[in-house]
Chain A
Amino acid sequence: MAQTFSASQDVGNITVATFEDTSTGLVGVTGRLIYLRKYDGTYLVPTGTTTDYVFWPIGDTTIDIDCLDKDYCLDVTVAWYTGSTVGYTLTSLVLFRGYSERFLRQLVQALAANKTLITNKNFWDNMVRLRGLVDSAIQGVSLLNDQTITTFCLDEAKKLTDNRQTFF
Chain B
Amino acid sequence: MAYTSDDIILWGKISQPLAALGEFKRKHTDGSTVDLDLYMQLYVVRKSVEWYNSQDTIDTDILYSISNYLFALEGIYGLDAQFLDGGSGGIVAPTTTASTTLPEPIDWVVSASAATATAPLSNGESTVTFNGMGGMPNLRGYNMDFTRNNLLQNTTDPGDGSTYYSWNRVTGVFALLNGAAFTSERLRILPTR
A contact residues vs B (CB 8 Å cutoff): 10-13, 101, 104-105, 107-109, 111-113, 118, 124, 127-128, 131, 135
Tell me if B25 counts as interface (CB < 8 A to partner A).
no
27 A-B residue pairs with Cβ-Cβ distance under 8 Å, sorted by A, are: A10-B55, A10-B56, A11-B52, A11-B58, A12-B55, A13-B57, A101-B51, A101-B52, A104-B44, A104-B47, A104-B48, A105-B48, A105-B51, A105-B52, A108-B45, A108-B48, A108-B49, A108-B66, A109-B62, A109-B65, A112-B68, A118-B41, A124-B37, A128-B40, A128-B44, A131-B43, A135-B47
List chain A residues, Cβ under 8 A from B48: 101, 104-105, 107-108
List chain A residues, Cβ under 8 A from B83: none
* Contact call B56/A105, Cβ cutoff below 8 A: no
Complex CA–CA separation, A108 to B63 (angstroms): 11
| CB contact between B66 and one of A11, A109, A128, A131 (< 8 Å): that residue | A109
* Nearest 7 pairs of A and B residues by beta carbon: A12-B57, A112-B69, A108-B48, A11-B55, A101-B51, A105-B48, A10-B56
| CB contact between B56 and one of A12, A101, A109, A118 (< 8 Å): that residue | A12
Number of B residues contacting the other chain (C-beta, 8 Å)?
20
* Contact call B44/A131, Cβ cutoff below 8 A: yes
CB of B41, distance to nearest CB on chain A (Å)? 7
* Contact call A108/B69, Cβ cutoff below 8 A: yes
Q: Is the interface of A mostly helix, strand, loop or mixed?
A: helix
CB of A33, distance to nearest CB on chain B (Å)? 26
List chain B residues, Cβ under 8 A from A13: 57
**Which residue from chain B places its CB closest to the CB of A132 in the assembled complex?**
B44
CB of A19, distance to nearest CB on chain B (Å)? 15
CB of B145, distance to nearest CB on chain A (Å)? 34
Complex CA–CA separation, A115 to B51 (angstroms): 21
* Contact call B69/A131, Cβ cutoff below 8 A: no
CB of A46, distance to nearest CB on chain B (Å)? 20
* Contact call B55/A127, Cβ cutoff below 8 A: no
Q: Binary interface profile of B, 67-103, with partner A (CB < 8 Å = 1, else 0)?
A: 0110000000000000000000000000000000000
Complex CA–CA separation, A108 to B48 (angstroms): 7
| Residues A111 and B55 in contact in the complex (CB < 8 Å), given A101-B48, A105-B48, A131-B47 | no
| Residues A105 and B66 in contact in the complex (CB < 8 Å), given A11-B52, A128-B40, A131-B44 | yes
**Which residue from chain B places its CB closest to the CB of A9 in the assembled complex?**
B55
List chain B residues, Cβ under 8 A from A108: 44-45, 48-49, 66, 69
